[in-house]
Amino acid sequence: MKDFRVRFAPSPTGALHIGGVRTALYNYLLAKKNGGTFILRIEDTDQTRYVPGAEAYIVEALEWCGIVPDEGPDTGGDYGPYRQSERKAMYSEFAQMLIDKGRAYYAFDSDESLQKMRADHESEGKTFRYDSSVRDQLDNSIGMAADELAERLQSGRPYTIRLKVPIGEVITVSDLIRGDVKFKSDELDDKIMLKSDGMPTYHLANIVDDHAMKISHVIRGEEWLPSTAHHVLLYQAFGWEEEMPHFAHLPLILKPTGKGKLSKRDGSKLGIPVFPLSWKGERPEDSFMGFREFGFLPGAALNFLAFLGWNPGTEIFSLDQLSQDFSIERIGKSGARFDFDKAKWFNQQYMIAMPDAALAKLVRPHIEAAGYQPSDEYLVAFCGLMKERCVVLPDFAAQGYYFFEPVKSYEEKMIRKRWKPENRAVFEQLRQNIHASKPYECASIEAAVKSFIEEKGLKFGEVFPMLRLALTGTMKGPSIFDLAALLGEEEVDNRLQKGYDHFDQVKQ
């Protein structure tokens, strides 16, 4: 079997949608599974839609995910250049080859004439399509005398080159996910191959580059399946049928409701990321939050994305494990629901599994952004206590602020329910016992509290909640004994005293 060579070929027209990352991931996994090559190719032939900074964003997004190209614009390789805009001369040659083979033709139609044709069709309740049913009536080289064609070409009159789709044929696309998909040629339009500015369209450049770069498998989104009929026709026209790659068209990523395709606007509407990294557009509505800035670990984001359409039967996979187990055969045909709660679950599992010291390095920017400057040792211990209670990285600062500053507010409802001012003297004695714990560490503090409860004939439910409320202001959080040991005896003593005073005020 020929070498596995796959490519991810995004257009630099804006931020890379998370669906594009999934496409890159599946290509990468197939290459690594089979000892092949993963290529990044920038398809920037449509200069009217080019957005400055988009290519750099794509590269950074892939780097953050750990999807590193073996060949590409920055990596190099034997099949470059890897930007289509730098391969412009090549496409003209191949467009001319199609002309010479009688598989394409020159089209001189003006924008105005085509607009009029569309309007005429619409007035009759029809949809205009530049195809075999109308091309003989339009301004193109089909049936044109050679001398007239030569004169037009020499005059510099603008033209495009269109693929001449054959009449009455059935084109079969053999898809590794969907099986054989058939298209009737009479239902296909004569797509433009070369634009009037000399730049190729996606269709021509895509085929020429895939052939030149010896691409073995084309894995891309379902939305490209209809175009594949034209691509098969191009492979046939060039005589490259034997080198045609295997096609695999991925299922759609659906909205969290499961209804409709996930769009870039859904992120803003639902307050969830649908891009790998944040993107700032010229308008507020064109700016989007990214998985990275939302607080996801790259491994968790990839693990989540891998399961949007592919299911190996196990849930937690590293990138290396995904590479070993990946198979196109397990990719489903149906759309995959973008279950953001599941994404957060993956992230939590990754944080729990991560060593505390490594996690602390990722958490520190969020802690410092909140105005705190803890020591490395303190932050590592903090992460160890909080990581099972946090879902994304910003949660550490938001939910664990009381590790770094005094309690700002208390859950008043719980205080009214549980605090009895007449027990203040008992809790004062407990505070003193805790303060006297030596050494001041988790085990000794826990022993002091439990022996006090037993000695006074109290119940854990009468004591533990009040200690937690005094130390944190909330009923949620890690072990109060671990917390107390990390805060230190002076801070704990101050918080207990302040907490008891507040409880009394609430109950007045």
- Residue by residue, what is the 3-state secondary structure of 260-284? CECCHHHHHHHCCCCECCCECCCCH
- Contact between 152 and 108 under an 8 Å Cβ cutoff? The reply is yes
Helix (H) or strand (E) holding 227: helix 225-238
CB-CB contact of 326 with 318 (8 Å): no
Which DSSP letter does residue 429 get? Answer: H
**In 146-224, alpha helices (H):** 146-155, 202-212
Asked whether 39 and 7 are in contact (CB, 8 A), the reply is yes
264 is catalytic: yes
Q: List Cβ neighbours of 87 (8 Å cut-off, separation of 6 or more).
A: 81, 205, 208, 209
- Which one is catalytic: 33, 214, 261, 264? 264
The two tokens of residue 261 are: 């395709």
Angstrom distance (rounded) from CA 226 to CA 240: 20
Which distant-in-sequence residues (6+ apart) come within 8 Å of 125 by Cβ?
none
Q: Report the relative pairing of strands 179-184 and 170-175 from DSSP bridges.
A: antiparallel
Owner of token pair 């004569």: 190
Residue of 85, 96, 84, 113 whose CA lies nearest to 194: 96
Distances (CA, A) of 88 to 50, 53, 75, 230: 16, 21, 21, 21
Q: CB–CB of 108/135 below 8 Å?
A: no
Strand, coil or helix: what is 238?
helix
* Residues noted as catalytic: 264
